[in-house]
Amino acid sequence: MNAAIDVNGTSMEMESGTDQYLTFMLADEEYGVDILRVQEIRGWDSATSIPNAPDYVLGVVNLRGVVVPIFDLRKRFHLDKAEFNAETVIVVVKVEHDKGERTIGMVVDAVSDVYNITADSINDAPEVGGSVNMEFIKGLATINNKMIILLDIDELINVGVLEDIG
């Protein structure tokens, strides 16, 4: 992983005002989450199903004594279903919500990279109007001529997911 690239693709040391983002792939798009929220990355393994759970909740797994809900980020984003393969992983993240901190697993197509991104290089997500929910998108960053969608993991999980799974 290349942990020292700024949004212009040049090498740099970590500077104040710079955050690291773990990026991952979903349907040929690259998304990023604040690396400080990532607890671990695990290969895909089956989850124990939960009756009456929303379709994007694949079930739960036991992670060293903690029951962790696992959800399919493709389904959460209403993307086409993909077969799970050797690159499919679960990104385990810590999420803050009104009842404290919660551990959640997100199934993604593959982990991509880690980037250093300065706050002033993050562009606001464009207004697209209508019923498109953009509140969980922190912003967009261009790295090596590719657009990365930066996610606000708290909003992504709290709006809809934790409400649905309790």
**pLDDT given at position 6:** 42
With respect to CATH, is domain 18-165 assigned 2.30.40.10?
no
Whether the model pTM is above 0.85? no
- Which sequence spans correspond to the domains of the chain? 18-165
Show pLDDT as tens, one digit a residue, over the chain (166 residues). Answer: 333 444 434 444 445 678 999 999 999 999 999 999 999 999 998 899 999 888 899 999 999 899 999 999 999 888 998 899 999 999 999 998 777 899 999 999 999 999 999 988 898 877 765 445 667 889 999 988 899 999 999 888 876 655 544 4
The candidate with the shortest Cα–Cα distance to 157, out of 57, 66, 27, 22, is 57
CA-based max dimension of the chain: 49
Cα separation, 31 vs 149, in Å, equals: 5
